[in-house]
Structure 1
Amino acid sequence: MPWVGYGLACSGATLFATKAIIVKLAYADGVDAETLLAVRMILSLPVYLAIGLHALLPSQRGPFDRLSGTLAFRAAMVGAIGYWLSSVLDFKGLELISAQLERLILFTYPFFVMLFGAAFFRQPIKLKSLAAFTVSYGGLLLLFLRDLSVQGEDAALGAGFVLAAGVSFALYQLLAKTVIVQMGPRLFTCVAMSAASVVVIAQFLLTHPVGQLALTPHLWMLGVALAIGGTIMPSFFMNAALHRISAQANSMIGTLSPIITILLAVAILAEPLSGLDVVAALLVIVGVFFATMADRR
């Protein structure tokens, strides 16, 4: 039923909106992006492995829970693109820009879904969609110029990291759909996220001493919140939604995410909210909404 897919997508967007807030709280305690990302995946990996192994039991297999070497490799590669690369870029960007601007930039990934869909999957580009995304990027330009005047090159670098994360996530959306249809959302999520977790942990071990994981109890609590509420639950919700509805519909429902992030950033992080922020957010959200609606038609 499509309404189940819409509900799952809504839940995933809401949970994903909390990620930037948790990351910013952790940064305030002095942890760096690579260490925080490693903690996130160290706590997440056992859950994905346990659920994946359980899904492979003959008595637990559903109609889509099948796995071959080729499917496992494809799912692992998609996971590396969608979660390892995009997460690294996103976390690095959050070191330099506000949670509000990060979410708005990342939220424009449907534009890249449209571009890559046309380039690699023969999906047509509609002029109405291009016009709508022009509105969205107009809103982003307002915030970017404001932050650039205050933070200088840091704002430009941070925005570039997050924009690259959006490109990576768009590739994930397009590549994941066909694999999910073949192996089911539950098993795909476990394989893709386990592969991404292994790459993240390996990257940390190659660049940081293991002793850097000796964090404060407060940071480990934030890590647990990031792993469960900002990673495990939304990843299953989003992939289950992609199994039932299109990537474009999933993008449309994602309009909730930046709104929730902005509200949480103001309430929890005490980030300022000016009239310019409101106008820019509305331009981004309205643009993405109408672009997605045009694509669905």
Structure 2
Amino acid sequence: MRSPFSRIVGYACAAVGAAFFSTKAIFIKLAFQDQLDAALFLAYRMIFATPVFVAIGLWAYARRRANGEPPPDAASIAWAAFIGLIGYYVASAFDFAGLMYISASLERLVLFTYPLFVMLIGAVLYHEAPSGFGIAAAVVTYIGLAIVFAVDLPQGGRNTAIGTALVLGAAISFAWHQILAQRVIPRLGSALFTSIALTAAGIACVLHQAILGSGSFAAPPRFLWLAFGCALVATVLPTFLINAGLARVSPSAVSMIATVSPVVTIGLAVSLLGEPFTLADAVGSSLVLLGVGLFTWGDSRARRTAANRAGADPPSKTSAR
């Protein structure tokens, strides 16, 4: 059992990690002031971040060998790379492109709805019936999102619609990443899985700029420094901090703490980017946070209940054998 101090450290790591993750949109928006090229910024972000994750992968593999575990099978490695392409390449490409059209505040709120897409995909493809609590949380969330969207639409017009659609694509892609990752991480371990997934995504991001983008990697120094900051502060550091938090407190606690992310993004967007924040924005944002927070809380409670029931059930005749 973890000591109170260890739990406090875990909560702090999770909170700081979530806050760092939320700075991504700010780095991107600041970089776009110099050069409006989402693919180039994404490529440089991964150029700076990928070597760190390669090192993590080598460490995880060496540790696996030292513990006498068998080397990972080719199928698991291929799945990890594929899932990385969905969650860190496709989702990021949609997300970064969306930020060319909409505010950082709206982007974070739209992206923050991905847990609800996890629920919907599970219901449609895996016949996991959503609870009434989950449906109610989804309704609250999207009412809030509709309010914020309606506030931004008159000013942004077509751009608001395009940007929101792109970031919704990112949310759906990341939801798929979450669903598929749950089935592969147990085979590889979190560190090795993350390394393979992010390395594959990093290679894809660089190839995207070279083949599908402008093909040029020329950028002003400020743009490069912001890409480096995004890689370090919004990618590498929060990954370590969230993992440190997960090692000390429950995943449900980390998920609940992550609800601070949109609040931090909105605060930074208003203070650093000068984005407007009206009463309607506040109401809509509050509903989005409330909906996703309620969904996360209800889902974690349902999982705990199911786990307790499974532990309390007497073994069947089959399992007794």
Residues 65 and 225 of structure 1: is their aligned pair in 2 closer, same or farther, counting only changes over 3 Å?
farther
Partner residue of 2:238 out of 234, 237, 242: 234
How many Å apart are 1:235 and its aligned residue? 3.3
The residue aligned with 1:201 is: 206
Q: Secondary structure at the match of 1:270?
A: coil
Higher mean C-alpha displacement, 215-224 vs 153-162 = 215-224
The residue aligned with 2:56 is: 51
Partner residue of 1:219 out of 217, 223, 229: 223
Residues 8 and 177 of structure 1: is their aligned pair in 2 closer, same or farther, counting only changes over 3 Å?
farther
The residue aligned with 1:31 is: 36
The residue aligned with 1:95 is: 100
Q: How does 1:1-297 map to 2 (within 5 A)?
A: 3=7, 8-57=13-62, 61=66, 66-210=71-215, 212-238=216-242, 250-297=254-301
Query: Please, what TM-score do these two structures have when normalized by structure 2?
Result: 0.84
Q: Secondary structure at the match of 2:89?
A: helix
Query: Please, what TM-score do these two structures have when normalized by structure 1?
Result: 0.90
How many Å apart are 1:196 and its aligned residue? 0.4
Letter of the 1:149 counterpart = P
CA distance in structure 1 between the aligned counterparts of 2:76 and 2:218, rounded to whole angstroms? 37
Letter of the 2:110 counterpart = I
Letter of the 1:17 counterpart = S
CA distance in structure 2 between the aligned counterparts of 1:34 and 1:208, rounded to whole angstroms? 6
How many Å apart are 1:13 and its aligned residue? 1.7
Verify the 8 A CA contact 1:105 1:166 in the aligned structure 2: yes
Verify the 8 A CA contact 1:110 1:248 in the aligned structure 2: no
CA distance in structure 2 between the aligned counterparts of 1:62 and 1:10, rounded to whole angstroms? 32
CA distance in structure 2 between the aligned counterparts of 1:258 and 1:83, rounded to whole angstroms? 19
CA distance in structure 2 between the aligned counterparts of 1:240 and 1:200, rounded to whole angstroms? 27
Verify the 8 A CA contact 1:180 1:239 in the aligned structure 2: no
CA distance in structure 2 between the aligned counterparts of 1:243 and 1:65, rounded to whole angstroms? 24
CA distance in structure 1 between the aligned counterparts of 2:22 and 2:108, rounded to whole angstroms? 8
- Unmatched segments (≥5 aa) in structure 2: 302-321
CA distance in structure 1 between the aligned counterparts of 2:104 and 2:205, rounded to whole angstroms? 22
Higher mean C-alpha displacement, 258-267 vs 112-121 = 112-121
How many Å apart are 1:254 and its aligned residue? 2.1
Letter of the 2:224 counterpart = W
Describe the superposition over 1:169-193 as per-residue Cα deviations: whole angstroms up to 9, x where unpaired.
1111121123222211111111000
Structure of greater Rg = 2
How many Å apart are 1:59 and its aligned residue? 8.1
Q: Secondary structure at the match of 1:57?
A: helix
Letter of the 1:256 counterpart = V
Letter of the 1:79 counterpart = G
Letter of the 1:280 counterpart = G
Higher mean C-alpha displacement, 14-23 vs 239-248 = 239-248
Describe the superposition over 1:217-246 as per-residue Cα deviations: whole angstroms up to 9, x where unpaired.
211110110111112223344466678877
Describe the superposition over 1:11-56 as per-residue Cα deviations: whole angstroms up to 9, x where unpaired.
3321110000000000011231011011111111222222212322
Higher mean C-alpha displacement, 91-100 vs 64-73 = 64-73
Verify the 8 A CA contact 1:55 1:65 in the aligned structure 2: no
Verify the 8 A CA contact 1:174 1:247 in the aligned structure 2: no
Verify the 8 A CA contact 1:96 1:158 in the aligned structure 2: yes
CA distance in structure 2 between the aligned counterparts of 1:48 and 1:159, rounded to whole angstroms? 30
Letter of the 2:103 counterpart = S
Q: Percent same amino acid among aligned pairs?
A: 42
- Unmatched segments (≥5 aa) in structure 1: none
Verify the 8 A CA contact 2:49 2:231 in the aligned structure 1: yes
Verify the 8 A CA contact 2:113 2:171 in the aligned structure 1: yes
CA distance in structure 2 between the aligned counterparts of 1:220 and 1:175, rounded to whole angstroms? 33
Size of the aligned set, in residue pairs, is 296
How many Å apart are 1:149 and its aligned residue? 1.5
Q: Secondary structure at the match of 2:277?
A: coil
Verify the 8 A CA contact 1:64 1:183 in the aligned structure 2: no
- Provide the aligned C-alpha RMSD in A: 2.5
Describe the superposition over 1:62-99 as per-residue Cα deviations: whole angstroms up to 9, x where unpaired.
68895221111111011011000000000011000000
How many Å apart are 1:164 and its aligned residue? 0.9
